[in-house]
Structure 1
Amino acid sequence: MSLLTKSPVRTFPSTVSDLFNIEKFFSDALQLWDMPSTMPAVNVHEDETSFRMEVASPGMEKSDFKINVRDNVLLISAEKKTEKKEEEKNFTRREFNYSSFRRSFALPENVDQDNIKAEYNNGILHLTIPKMKKESAPKGKSIDVA
């Protein structure tokens, strides 16, 4: 009886597989797919007067967010650090948790950047981005030739 196991998927000869370590590459790539994503989902709604954004970010607090506008780009970032420490007579347990994200959105030219508002309720960051009011078009002007 042999204790050696054969890989269930072997698409290349042993020497090529060993040389390039194909199995390890695909194994590592599959593990990356299983990692949880920290990028929040974003919904964007547009009406005649504004854009409304909803950023799903449960577990955060409003003080965790930083929102900036720079060069017509809206930058939303958040960072949360937690530490839990339990000390008992026979043991000590410390747990750390860190989560962060950063999203950026190009803003159209018709946005009123000075009046963007943000509110955080029930795990969702709500942003209201007003559009600039349309200026009345010039009615026309008659020019006399001198």
Structure 2
Amino acid sequence: MTLVKFNNGLKNNAHPFFNDVFDSLLNDSYIGDKLVARVPAVNIAETDNEFHIELAVPGLKKEDFKINLDKNILTVSAEKKSENAEETKKFSKREYSYNSFVRSFTLPDSVDHSKIEADYTDGILKLTVAKREEAKFQSREITIK
């Protein structure tokens, strides 16, 4: 069975033939797979005490990841070994297949390199990078003289 995408008259252009040709080319599984970004989406947040880096990486195991710190560069990489069952499937669309990727993050000088933790749960790799004590936000009230 093949899934077919129909326009249903949503586009209002003078040359619908050209739109259909380009849509079919860009939605083709061979060409489309090459255009899909091969790096996971990332969220970076900061609190008073630490930085939080979250990568959306579904379908991987924690053994697939390699996390390195070289000076101020934190590098997250993964390589997934293909399983025989995956190789025999014929996909009509495949967007979340990461065979391998590398993401690098430049850490600020305020981080404590000895306090970096990682956790992988429900397809999300969470990295917690602690700040040095002197770099933490300190609030105080300033009196006017």
Return the TM-score normalized by structure 2. Answer: 0.61
Report the residue type matching 2:126 in the other structure: H
- Measured after TM superposition, the shift of residue 71 of structure 1 is 1.7
Cα shift at 1:32: 6.7
Q: Which runs of 5+ in 1 are unaligned?
A: 1-7, 10-26, 86-92, 136-146
Assess if the C-alpha contact under 8 Å between 1:83 and 1:94 holds in 2: no
1:116·1:127 contact (CA, 8 Å) conserved in 2? yes
Alpha carbons 1:81, 1:98 under 8 Å: kept: no
Change (3 A) 1:40 1:98: closer
* Aligned mates of 1:98, 1:67 — CA distance in 2: 16
1:102 maps onto 2:102 in alignment: yes
Distance 2:99 2:118 in 1: 21
For residues 62-101 of structure 1, what are the alpha-carbon distances to aligned partners after superposition, in whole Å with 9 as ceiling and x for unaligned?
000000100210000011012216xxxxxxx856x87110
Q: Which has the higher strand share?
A: 1
1:35 corresponds in structure 2 to: 35
Change (3 A) 1:54 1:33: same
Q: Measure, in 2, the Cα distance between the counterparts of 1:124 and 1:33.
A: 22
Residue aligning to 1:64: 64
Match of 2:80 in 1: 80
Equivalent pairs: percent with the same residue? 43
SS of residue matched to 2:127: strand
The alignment covers a number of residue pairs equal to 102
Query: Which secondary structure does the structure 2 equivalent of 1:44 belong to?
Result: strand
Report the structure number with the largest CA radius of gyration.
1
Structure of higher RCO (CA pairs closer than 8 Å, 6+ residues apart): 2
1:54 is aligned to 2:54: yes
**Residue of structure 1 equivalent to 2:13:** none
Aligned-partner Cα distance in 1 for 2:50–2:99: 30
Gaps of 5+ in 2: 1-16, 19-24, 90-96, 136-145
**Native 8 Å contact 1:82 1:98 kept in 2:** no
* RMSD (Å), alpha carbons: 2.8
* 1:63 counterpart SS class: helix
Q: Could you tell me the TM-score, scaled by structure 1's length?
A: 0.61
1:129 correspondence with 2:129: yes
CA distance in 1, matches of 2:45, 2:73: 17
Letter in 2 for 1:35: L
Moved more, 115-124 or 32-41: 32-41
